[in-house]
Structures are given as C-alpha cells and as structure tokens.
Amino acid sequence: MSLKYDLIALDVDGTLLTDDHVLTKEIRDTVREAADYGAQIVLCTGRGPSGAIPILEELGLGGTVITHNGAATINADNRSVLHQFDMMPEQLLAFIDYCREKSIHFDVNTAFEMMVESMSSEAEAMYHRFQANPAVQDFRLGLPEGLVKFTVFGSKEEMDSVQAEWEGWPMTLKSIRSGDFFIDVHHAEANKGKALQQLAKIREIDSSRILAIGNYYNDVTMLEFAGMGIAMGNSPDAVKLAANAVARSNSEDGVAYALREYAWA
C-alpha cells in the first residue's frame, strides 16, 4: 500500500478536533499511519503556535505548522519562524477604536505572543479551550512590531454584525471569518493557501501531490490550492463547493475516513 500524496495539510478546529476540542484515537492513529507511510503532515490553523504545536505533539509528530491563517509558518521543532506576513501597527488603530466603542473583545498577535487589553471570564474560558494564555497590556502605550493577526471574539450575532460593517470599510488589511464566534484580520496577502504554496515550493512538492482538509471559510484557499481539497461534512455550503470532495463531519472522525478513502493508492 502506498500514498497518493506527499503532503497532507490539516485544519485543526472543526476538522481535526471535535467540537469539544478532542483529538480522537481514530484520527490520531490514522494521521500517524499516513506519516509512517511517508506523508509530511502540516497543520494549517487560525491558532497561534502555542495552540497548534500541542496538537502536533499529541499526534506524536513534529515539523512545520502554518499558523494565524497563514500569516506565520513555524518550525515546531525549534520554535523558529520560517515566514511571516507583518502588519503595521497603525493599520490596526481603526479596528481597535471600533472594538473599544462597541465593547467587543479583541486580541493582537505576533508570531508567538498573544496580547489583550482586558479579560472577561467568558474570554478567559475561550482562551483556555484553545490552549492560549494571552498577556494583558495597555495598547494605548503602543502596539508591538511584528504583528501577524488581530482577532475579535463574540457571539455569532455580534460577529455577523461586525462582519457586515467591516465589509464596507476600505481595507488595506484583510478580514476573514474563521469561525462562528471569530473574525481575524491580517496582511492582505496572508492566507492558508498562499502559505501552503510557499512551503510546497521550498519542499519541491507539486500541488497535485498535496491533500488538504478543512471546514471553514479561512480554509478555502488551501482547499483550492491542493490537488485534493476535502471539506468536512460540518462545513458551510460555500466551503463544500470549493472542495473536490466532502468528508464526514468532525463528530464522525471525518479526517480518518477521508484519509482512508482518498490518501491511499
């Protein structure tokens, strides 16, 4: 038995993990088997490294993780940045002012650090689920250099409203819905597909030899770049339409079944 693909790119939340953020034994064993047969496993996630690398380690793997929706590609073995798309601090001022005015929770991220201006019990619980531990800082004293992502968090209704308003803004940055409760803002060229393309070029892997699995709008560029793009059964319809195939949902070990059906020759 052999694999059809040299690189397998996997989204994390809503794809690799259940909605309770659990990595099931079925998925872990199947991903490990693909790695044992020679596939390079690359996690491609909206999470930062602190939330992504523990999942890679739980799989028993190392290597590369594409984080912050493609804004930072990280060597998980030595915690170094392979590539990142920086935002200028002044580009975020309008977003920060908006969030303060509307009382919407937000965080700012460098490749390895996450910072918040305030912390509610609801936000604290959310960060705990994603294995994140943000530092509380006063951004009125200035923003750090090397920013790669700005994220807002709230109810689905709040995020629907924010998304509708921001779509009318003249954008030098790009905002994308990364989940029902999250909107991410980053460099206009940063996305999972672009980061995966850069990595494939470095490793001399043709896109036809890449399989990618994801479940949300921030996965579409990755699904379209890969030779085989698979949307999870729990994906919105627009994501399914961008894929070559649709798997079972993340509550049904969809990644494991997709790999068995499509990855092996």
What residue spans of 130-236 are helical by DSSP H?
156-166, 192-202, 220-225
Dihedral-angle region of residue 146 (phi above 0 means left; psi in -120 to 50 means alpha; beta otherwise): left
254-262 vs 25-36: helix axis angle to the nearest 10? 30
Max CA separation in the chain (angstroms): 59
Rounded to an integer, the average pLDDT of 182-211 is 97
DSSP three-state, residue 258: helix
Tokens of 15: 């794809």
Domains and CATH numbers, the chain: 7-84+190-262 (3.40.50.1000), 89-187 (3.30.1240.10)
Per residue in 142-182, pLDDT (tens digit) is 999 999 999 999 999 999 999 999 999 988 999 999 999 99
pTM of the model: 0.93
Percent pLDDT > 70 in the chain is: 100
Q: Considering only CA atoms, which of 171, 206, 230, 160 is closest in space to residue 9?
A: 230
